[in-house]
Structure 1
Amino acid sequence: MIRDDALAALPVRAALPALNDALDGHGSAVLVAPPGTGKTTLVPLALAGLTGGGPARRVVVAEPRRIAARAAARRMAWLLGERPGESVGHTVRGERVVGPRTRVEVVTTGVLLQRLQRDQELAGTDAVVLDECHERHLDADTAAAFLCDVREALRPELRLVAASATTDAAGWARLLGGAPVVEAAGVSYPVEVVWAPPARPVRPPHGMRVDPALLAHVGSVVRRALAERTGDVLCFLPGAGEIARVAGALGDLAGTDVLQVHGRAPAAVQDAVLAPGTRRRVVLATSVAESSLTVPGVRVVVDAGLAREPRVDHARGLSALTTVRASQAAGRQRAGRAGREAPGAVYRCWTEAEDGRLPRFPAPEIKVADLTAFALQAACWGDPDASGLALLDPPPAGAMAAAREVLTAVGAVGPDGRATERGARLARLGVHPRLGRALLDAGAGGAAERAAEVVALLSEEVPREYGDDLAAALRAARRGGDPYAGRWRTEVRRLRAAAKGSAAPAPEGRAAEPSGGGREGGDREGGGREEDVAGLVAALAFPERVARLDGGSYLMVSGTRAEPAEGSALRGSPWLAVAVADRPLGRGHARVQLAAAVDEDIARRAAGALHEERDEVGWTGGDVVARRVERLGAVELRARPLSDPDPALVRGALLQGLRQEGWGLLRWPPGAEALRRRLAFLHRRLGAPWPDVGDDALHARVEEWLEPELGRARRRADLARIDAGQALSRLLPWASGEAARLDELAPERITVPSGSAVRVDYGDPERPVLAVKLQEMFGLNASPAVAGVPVLVHLLSPAGRPVAVTADLASFWRDGYKDVRAELRGRYPKHPWPEDPAAAEPTRHTNARLRR
């Protein structure tokens, strides 16, 4: 029997006429309805004609999460007084509960994408509701883009509703071709905000790590909320691990049930959370409870202020979920949960000042996530670069380029970017293309049954208690009785069935076969050893993460270094296939979170596309080293000396050495050093045609001045025999004739009044220096100049020590000389100290010599 009273209490009912008018007139609409109004439950029933009359239609509702899809279907079935699978059913990965009379089917967005790829017309479906659009999950954005194409090209009569609690209504309306926006008023109660930051600063989240001090504080705030408020408490935490830690800290609360809600929670726990409790409850939940689920009885929200978002490091080939500060929009959504049924309160575990600095909205997944699966979906759809898809945000070019590289490597797309037959099969498997490649290729080697087990294990985050050894985790899943193990078994059955119709040989030339070993791949890989199959699947899925022990760490073929945890059974294995890794704060190496030991045969097979043999000539250890090297990417397998390396490679190695160690590797006689400084001065003072002789400029013009000497060199000792001054002279402006003026413009020596030829120091290209004994400059009133620049004269005592520095001799003779004379004439009585130096005879001799 239909529960009319419950249906009548849903506020969205008032918006149904406007929604029907919008769909009748335009065919699509944007529905904005606050949480708790019934948009997820009443709207699909009304569109299907199951409540309030209207034509019978088949409606598909797409939810971003499995837990939300199941809950929505159960709630709608309850409103109709039926069991799930009758008028309302659901389909999630590995689970389908529908019947012949089903008119509303709730699916995950991933399932919807699979259907669209199999049947672009969605035959038999009259309307699609995309729920929780504001969360901006990549699958939801992709499904919306595909549905826009379907409506435009194939099914203009297909009704499409983009529904959300809070969203960019104008953006979605524009995306749907100017669709009307229908707003439903919600019933909400005031929510008091209590700022409850930790007493002492906590470390910000990094990767998946959350400071234990923050989690301990969240637990204490939950206890405080229980003491200060009535009603159930809903606490938001970023992930299952944090939920378990806070639950452990809370322990047994008298008269209170502690429930944990996340994607891995058992169905029984999910049901208990969504039904009114007989005792007071503390519900520890991830962001799944922000808008997808209504938890009755909640009067208090405790918000840790954190969320999990996908991130990818394309340079290191590492992608995973990461912990971030929740956005202001998420904070409002969470707080609203306390005001669904009565006035409530939200305890925020941060300061009011911090709140204003939080991002306004969560980052769209298309901007930050690994786009390999998205790129394959777009290629199978016929739009490889996604340029024609109706998307609120275009995919970043760099992420798409990285995705295409992966898809090309696994044979999923051809040179034109379009999906191959193999790519279409990979898309139908319903797992990441990397894992799909491993499933198909390992199956081709005779390990299909076991490969499905490993792929199922890698398609969802493995519980931490399973450890970091992939083979051991596989054994734990087999014998496990926890909810994860149950989901794993379901996924294994699904993958085995999917792989049977999808197995195909790998494209030619894409992966090298195992070399040596004397064992056939099928015998070894299908023979039952978890270690062999786990390693093969991980290596095929992540070939760039195949790693070899190198010193105290592992070097991946991508060039990234990684380390297993202290005490890990993986330590010491010659080779690893790393399935999951991250880079902790303050560490230069990645941390291995899940991997399997492999041998070199498997490494060669999986990373065969990165295998090469080449001559490598480089500057190593201060000299040229020439070798013939066999590599898997960055991992060196074998090397032998080269007796007759390519001269061009040798030349490159010598240049590398000169860049690393500098031009001091050449022979620099005193005249050569002086020439370089003179040329630097003229370039600074006069510019062209006088050459720039700085380090970078000399490297840029090395062919002009260092050949043919460099071409004849083979090692460091040969460089040391090259006269740098002779080579530099090739850069002089001979063609213009200016080279002949070098000694005129920047003379090496200047003849001073005493007749001495004194060397000019051009060490400072701004102002050359002339260091000369004071007595040798008597009678000279104007300072010498080079290239129009007065030199800086360092006047020296008879002992050769500076006593004055001037660029204006006349001024010095007039003002400064008296003090110098008074100080030094008694110390050096044998040298002349005339009262009028400007008129005196210059000399480099003593008084006695002068008298003779």
Structure 2
Amino acid sequence: MIPREDALEALPVRSALPALEDALDGHGSAVLAAPPGTGKTTLVPLALAGLLGGGPARRVVVAEPRRIAARAAARRMAWLLGERPGQSVGHTVRGERVVGRHTRVEVVTTGVLLQRLQRDQELTGVDVVVLDECHERHLDADTSAAFLWDVRETLRPDLRLVAASATTDTAGWARLLGGAPVVQAQGSVFDVEVVWAPPPRPVRPPHGMRVDPALLAHVASVVRRALAERSGDVLCFLPGVGEIARVAGLLGGADGVDVLQVHGRAPAAVQDAVLAPGERRRVVLATSVAESSLTVPGVRVVVDSGLAREPRVDHARGLSALATVRASQAAGRQRAGRAGREAPGAVYRCWAQAEDARLPAFPAPEIRVADLTAFALQAACWGDPDASGLALLDAPPAGAMAAARSLLGAIGAVDAEGRATGRGVRLARLGLHPRLGRALLDGAAAVGAERAVEVVALLSEEPPREYGDDLAAALRAARRGGDAYGARWRAEVRRLRAVVASDMPSGDDGRDGRDGRDGGTVLDVPGGPGGVDAAVGLVVALAFPERLAKADGGSLLMASGTRAEVGEGTGLRGAPWLAVAVADRPVGRGHARVQLAAAVDEGVARLAGGALLDEREEVLWADGDVVARRVERLGAVELAERPLRDADAGLVRGALLEGLRKEGLGLLRWPAEAVGLRQRLAFLHRHLGDPWPDVRDGSLYARVDEWLEPELGRARRRGDLGRIDAGQALGRLLPWASGEAARLEELAPERVVVPSGSRVRIDYADPERPVLAVKLQEMFGLQESPRVAGVPLLVHLLSPAGRPVAVTADLASFWRDGYRGVRAELRGRYPKHPWPEDPAGAEPTRYTNARLRR
């Protein structure tokens, strides 16, 4: 071993090592804040392991959020020691382990670390764990930190923990680790000039996975501009694989420049080539995997699209996917720092400077926005089903945890209290999302291990778009191979074969002794091409039972209740059932759009979605009447129904109440007396309050038990409601107990005696001010409007023909000011009726002049 001393000495984090060692010796935990390029990922683990010629020999595990970063960090450390990977330094990522007997530093992904913690909570033989790039707030990293702190507090007080990052909430992490000291390392990052390069014309904001092609064309033009204006290699940040491929196509004609594509799906050889100096000038198109942990040699320029991909879950629709978002300010600083690792550089930002302050300060922690099914299973296996006892910077949202526990219960991974079952422990140890773990275990029992492995490998990483949206056809394309995806798929198949072999000893049918409620029942799938298609459909359905979708009225209805559509020209169109693996919701569309699915039949749907099957008596208000039936459903999908006779009276009553709520109390019979009583009660409640009842629809509906029984209990259908006299029923709400009911006629009489002696009906339609409509001559001599319950009536004075000629609540004022004009207009038209000059002193009458003379 010949260490590269010059390279080791040049790493600025070296000056912070004594303080870090002191912090670990004193507290046992520390937060290391070190700028990019200082060597925190490479030098610190070597020093803590005692591989730099001083300090005790320790075994150090370094956890990285991404496979590419783990592999690169391990290789860089081995290079610094003058060794090959697998000697003193090794790495373990999914599907690849390069570790030897003498390995002292092992770099793993956070997912691998979680698997180890679930198998061996004490982390036997490990002295130090370094959680790198904590600022990225990946869910596995947050979970690992919480578990490690729990281990240190309860089982391994000697275990040393380091939370390391370039840009992070040091105070928050220090608090989380029990008041751990913060060690700050000074960097020597070179100056980076910021060049603002917004698009010349407005571009559409990202939505879902969609990015405006005009923005990608602009990013490509900015890369060309940077190549012309600056020296050195260019590192360009884009949100995903599709955008990288598009920009690479736009740059295909760049002379004398190699265009490399770096992302999580890139072959290891490509990733290695990027991390080694190139012979020609290079443009490296990368996702956020290149933000941290990696130094791409030769880079002097960064072009930042300003976009990133984050997980999002739509719990209402049962859909989860990556979403394109504006990158945070912290991510922008990390990306810009890539240009100043080795020399002064520049960053071209493809947005306006004025927009920069409006960007989020930090990326959203995954625990707030991601699917929490895997996290909930990890927590349940750890013995803390609701995660309330875990040391987390952000608590998991209650709704997301409830959805996760519901799914875990449906696949038999947790019991009714949320505790992990034996099956749940198996699923957690497979290194797969619980959905895919369930599909692998039960699919292997149903269709054979090989077919299950192939389909789960296909679901682990979405196939390219050119494979189409039919997963059965995509499987055949992957089998043919010949492209990068096919190679990755075959590697995953090999890994999963080993997983199945280790999890299912000879003779194990994969059902874990269960009764098939979670899909463990063996399905006899026929052989041949059709059998392959059926096997694909079953395994997909086992993974996504709530996305089983039945053709229904021109669209698809998923078991989750979400409506979906398939694209034009797809072979999936016309299938009676689909098992949907991937769907999204396009802008402005109410229905989801199926991206990847497999055709199934109802038998497969019933098998895979067994936990969602439900048969019950259903009595509801539909199409304007009570409908009683026995219905069988798979989630929201109706499978079969038949009429139900002698339905439960309580269910019928509930349906009738729903009808009253939807269509209103007009379903009852409302003769004039009933309408009048309701109006009088509304008036009294408005002006006197209790004990007079509120008779508005909502209040009456809330008190239906008090006034509409027993009539409602005898009703069975809409017609029965129409025979109920609402007035008689309302009488039950009168304040009989207090005796006030007897004062109804006194306080709100139906009629009032006017000066002529007539009994005139009061109109209570407006509870604020009831109306008395009476012929003008019948009110002669009256100076004040009549009152009910102390409220003056609004008097509508009528002509002899019964038409309104004046409205007043102040008769004295009308006689004085308004009457003269009315008299002049009407006395000639109605000469047979009295029109005295002084109505205030005249005799009231309901007769004509001739009648009066007699």
Name the TM-score class by shorter chain: over 0.9
SS of the residue 1:226 aligns to: helix
Letter in 2 for 1:726: Q
Letter in 2 for 1:170: A
Are positions 1:256 and 2:243 aligned together?
A: no
In the alignment, the residues of structure 2 paired with residue 51 and residue 470 of structure 1 have an alpha-carbon distance, to the nearest angstrom, of 52
In the alignment, the residues of structure 1 paired with residue 804 and residue 195 of structure 2 have an alpha-carbon distance, to the nearest angstrom, of 74
Shift in Å, 1:525: 7.7
Are positions 1:199 and 2:210 aligned together?
A: no
Q: Provide the residue aligned with 1:693 in structure 2.
A: 695
Q: Taking every aligned residue pair, what percent have the same amino acid on both sides? A: 82
SS of the residue 1:217 aligns to: helix
Q: Provide the residue aligned with 2:667 in structure 1.
A: 665
Q: Normalising by structure 1, what TM-score?
A: 0.96
Deviations 1:157-186 (A, max 9, x none): 222211100111122122222222111111
SS of the residue 1:311 aligns to: strand
Match of 1:760 among 759, 762, 765: 762
In the alignment, the residues of structure 2 paired with residue 656 and residue 485 of structure 1 have an alpha-carbon distance, to the nearest angstrom, of 56
Letter in 1 for 2:334: Q
115-124 or 218-227: bigger deviation: 218-227
1:391-470 mapped onto 2 (5 Å cutoff): 391-470=392-471
Q: Tell me if the contact between 1:474 and 1:530 (Cα under 8 Å) persists in the aligned partners.
A: no
1:329-368 mapped onto 2 (5 Å cutoff): 329-368=330-369
In the alignment, the residues of structure 1 paired with residue 654 and residue 409 of structure 2 have an alpha-carbon distance, to the nearest angstrom, of 32
In the alignment, the residues of structure 1 paired with residue 682 and residue 435 of structure 2 have an alpha-carbon distance, to the nearest angstrom, of 57
CA shift in 2, pair 1:819/1:202, >3 Å = farther
In the alignment, the residues of structure 2 paired with residue 730 and residue 176 of structure 1 have an alpha-carbon distance, to the nearest angstrom, of 66
Deviations 1:703-749 (A, max 9, x none): 22212222222221221121111221121112222112111111112
Shift in Å, 1:46: 1.6
Q: Provide the residue aligned with 2:507 in structure 1.
A: none
Letter in 1 for 2:308: A
Shift in Å, 1:618: 1.4
Q: Tell me if the contact between 1:446 and 1:526 (Cα under 8 Å) persists in the aligned partners.
A: no
1:28-43 mapped onto 2 (5 Å cutoff): 28-43=29-44
1:744-759 mapped onto 2 (5 Å cutoff): 744-759=746-761
Letter in 2 for 1:464: R
1:84-95 mapped onto 2 (5 Å cutoff): 84-95=85-96
Shift in Å, 1:813: 1.2
In the alignment, the residues of structure 2 paired with residue 280 and residue 513 of structure 1 have an alpha-carbon distance, to the nearest angstrom, of 55
Q: Tell me if the contact between 1:778 and 1:842 (Cα under 8 Å) persists in the aligned partners.
A: yes
Shift in Å, 1:676: 0.9
Are positions 1:294 and 2:300 aligned together?
A: no
Q: Provide the residue aligned with 1:100 in structure 2.
A: 101
1:67-466 mapped onto 2 (5 Å cutoff): 67-466=68-467
In the alignment, the residues of structure 1 paired with residue 72 and residue 555 of structure 2 have an alpha-carbon distance, to the nearest angstrom, of 46
1:806-825 mapped onto 2 (5 Å cutoff): 806-825=808-827
610-619 or 675-684: bigger deviation: 610-619
SS of the residue 2:598 aligns to: strand
Q: Normalising by structure 2, what TM-score?
A: 0.96
Shift in Å, 1:573: 0.5
Deviations 1:739-770 (A, max 9, x none): 12111111112222222222211111111111
SS of the residue 1:234 aligns to: strand
Letter in 1 for 2:132: D
CA shift in 2, pair 1:842/1:476, >3 Å = same
Match of 1:678 among 644, 659, 680: 680
In the alignment, the residues of structure 2 paired with residue 510 and residue 770 of structure 1 have an alpha-carbon distance, to the nearest angstrom, of 75
SS of the residue 2:742 aligns to: helix
796-805 or 41-50: bigger deviation: 796-805
In the alignment, the residues of structure 1 paired with residue 526 and residue 439 of structure 2 have an alpha-carbon distance, to the nearest angstrom, of 16
Q: Provide the residue aligned with 2:740 in structure 1.
A: 738
In the alignment, the residues of structure 1 paired with residue 804 and residue 288 of structure 2 have an alpha-carbon distance, to the nearest angstrom, of 76
CA shift in 2, pair 1:196/1:827, >3 Å = farther
Shift in Å, 1:451: 0.6
CA shift in 2, pair 1:813/1:530, >3 Å = same
Are positions 1:621 and 2:662 aligned together?
A: no
Letter in 2 for 1:569: G
Q: Tell me if the contact between 2:681 and 2:695 (Cα under 8 Å) persists in the aligned partners.
A: yes
Match of 1:505 among 505, 511, 521: 511
Shift in Å, 1:410: 1.4
Shift in Å, 1:54: 2.9
Q: Provide the residue aligned with 1:640 in structure 2.
A: 642
CA shift in 2, pair 1:851/1:229, >3 Å = farther
Shift in Å, 1:141: 1.0
Q: Tell me if the contact between 2:412 and 2:518 (Cα under 8 Å) persists in the aligned partners.
A: no
Q: Provide the residue aligned with 1:15 in structure 2.
A: 16
CA shift in 2, pair 1:712/1:163, >3 Å = same
Q: Tell me if the contact between 1:32 and 1:183 (Cα under 8 Å) persists in the aligned partners.
A: yes
CA shift in 2, pair 1:458/1:803, >3 Å = same
Are positions 1:542 and 2:544 aligned together?
A: yes
672-681 or 471-480: bigger deviation: 471-480
Q: Tell me if the contact between 2:13 and 2:187 (Cα under 8 Å) persists in the aligned partners.
A: yes
CA shift in 2, pair 1:308/1:714, >3 Å = same
Shift in Å, 1:841: 1.8
Letter in 2 for 1:799: A
Shift in Å, 1:815: 1.9
Shift in Å, 1:803: 2.4
1:45-84 mapped onto 2 (5 Å cutoff): 45-84=46-85
In the alignment, the residues of structure 1 paired with residue 63 and residue 703 of structure 2 have an alpha-carbon distance, to the nearest angstrom, of 63
Shift in Å, 1:512: 7.6
Deviations 1:99-127 (A, max 9, x none): 22322211101011111111122222222
| Runs of 5+ unmatched residues, structure 1 | none
Shift in Å, 1:685: 1.0
In the alignment, the residues of structure 1 paired with residue 200 and residue 188 of structure 2 have an alpha-carbon distance, to the nearest angstrom, of 36
Q: Tell me if the contact between 1:409 and 1:510 (Cα under 8 Å) persists in the aligned partners.
A: no
Note the aligned Cα RMSD (angstroms): 2.0
Q: Provide the residue aligned with 1:609 in structure 2.
A: 611
Shift in Å, 1:513: 7.5
Shift in Å, 1:623: 1.3
181-190 or 344-353: bigger deviation: 344-353
Shift in Å, 1:526: 9.8
In the alignment, the residues of structure 1 paired with residue 796 and residue 617 of structure 2 have an alpha-carbon distance, to the nearest angstrom, of 56
CA shift in 2, pair 1:447/1:688, >3 Å = same
Letter in 1 for 2:446: G
Shift in Å, 1:480: 2.3
CA shift in 2, pair 1:374/1:339, >3 Å = same
SS of the residue 1:391 aligns to: coil
In the alignment, the residues of structure 2 paired with residue 165 and residue 404 of structure 1 have an alpha-carbon distance, to the nearest angstrom, of 35
SS of the residue 1:113 aligns to: helix
Deviations 1:390-413 (A, max 9, x none): 222222222222222222221112
In the alignment, the residues of structure 1 paired with residue 351 and residue 691 of structure 2 have an alpha-carbon distance, to the nearest angstrom, of 65
SS of the residue 2:77 aligns to: helix
In the alignment, the residues of structure 1 paired with residue 766 and residue 203 of structure 2 have an alpha-carbon distance, to the nearest angstrom, of 52
Q: Tell me if the contact between 1:526 and 1:533 (Cα under 8 Å) persists in the aligned partners.
A: no
In the alignment, the residues of structure 1 paired with residue 448 and residue 724 of structure 2 have an alpha-carbon distance, to the nearest angstrom, of 63
Q: Tell me if the contact between 2:411 and 2:611 (Cα under 8 Å) persists in the aligned partners.
A: no
Are positions 1:798 and 2:804 aligned together?
A: no
| Runs of 5+ unmatched residues, structure 2 | 505-509
Deviations 1:243-276 (A, max 9, x none): 1122222332122222211111122221222222
In the alignment, the residues of structure 1 paired with residue 638 and residue 607 of structure 2 have an alpha-carbon distance, to the nearest angstrom, of 16
Shift in Å, 1:417: 2.5
Deviations 1:19-77 (A, max 9, x none): 22222222221111111111111111222222243333222111100111111112112
In the alignment, the residues of structure 2 paired with residue 185 and residue 754 of structure 1 have an alpha-carbon distance, to the nearest angstrom, of 102
Q: Provide the residue aligned with 1:850 in structure 2.
A: 852
Shift in Å, 1:476: 1.8
502-511 or 231-240: bigger deviation: 502-511
In the alignment, the residues of structure 2 paired with residue 827 and residue 192 of structure 1 have an alpha-carbon distance, to the nearest angstrom, of 95
In the alignment, the residues of structure 1 paired with residue 520 and residue 413 of structure 2 have an alpha-carbon distance, to the nearest angstrom, of 22
